[in-house]
Amino acid sequence: MHQSSGGSGGGGTGGGSEGGGAEKHGHTASLPVSQGTAHHHPIAPSNGNFLPGYSGGADCGVMNKQGHAHPDMMGLSEGGNCNGGGVMSGGFLGGLGLPPGVIVMAMGSAGGGISDASSAFQMTSGQRALTDCQQHTNSSPCPSSSSPSSSGVTAGGTVAKRKRKRCGVCGPCRRLINCGVCSSCRNRKTGHQICKFRKCEELKKKPGGGGGVLERPPSVPAGEAFRWFF
């Protein structure tokens, strides 16, 4: 019971004092998706807040003039940020759930870059289910069977709930470092939660509608979005 509350509030806030150990040396974590065909952080993050792979097509010059990435720019509920307006980050893409392709394409046109097109494609498909070639015929992340934990039952018989993993493609997931000022960051020691700005959107949602429910963003049934590309 209590699934309603557990979804957002419950897990979304914890804290820590310092944002020292954001993650690891670059391996944000073991993202389920193999984003950069070539892992191992080839180059340093230009912004430091986003993965290099995606920043490439994102920074056109028009935006990205933040200089110093501010932790609170989306206007979550921290510090009463008003969202400057020039600042846009994962929130605008994954946060709003608007047609990413359109935006990216618009930028691509301005910048005049074919490579941007591919980026857009990646983002669009990546947001939902990665259209990559990587089909993973069988490399299932979950060992399924053959493992006590996978069975879902621990020694005592308690049903061990398997934890979901971040999608790795949404805005928050693409973030690399913690803001260090949000509740989660401040109380990480006690809260054991990831930075609010890094909390995967998929994890925020899908409290129990995973699998059978085809959740799609209101308006623009994907199909239409596709048409915009061609």
Partner DNA sequence: ACGTACGTGTAC
Partner DNA sequence: GTACACGTACGT
Interface with DNA (CB under 7 A), residue total 46
Q: Which of 101, 185, 193, 199 binds Zn ion (CB under 5 A)?
A: 185
DSSP state of 62: S
- Smallest separation, CB 203 to Zn ion (Å): 7
- Contacts of residue 130, Cβ cutoff 8 Å, sequence gap at least 6: 33, 169
> For the chain, give me the number of helices (H) and strands (E)?
11, 0
Q: Which of 41, 70, 128, 165 binds DNA (CB under 7 A)?
A: 165
Footprint of DNA on 13-42 (CB under 7 A): 13-15, 21, 23, 27, 29-30
Burial group, residue 206, by CB count within 10 angstroms (0-12, 13-18, 19+): middle
The phi and psi torsions of 159 (rounded to 5 degrees) equal: -70, 105
Q: Does 170 bind Zn ion (CB under 5 A)?
A: yes
Which listed option, Zn ion, DNA, none, makes contact with residue 199 (CB within 5 to 8 Å by class)? DNA
- Smallest separation, CB 83 to DNA (Å): 16
Which listed option, Zn ion, DNA, none, makes contact with residue 21 (CB within 5 to 8 Å by class)? DNA
Contact 162, 152 (CB under 8 A): yes
Chain positions contacting Zn ion, by CB under 5 A = 166-167, 170, 173, 178-179, 182, 185, 195, 200, 202
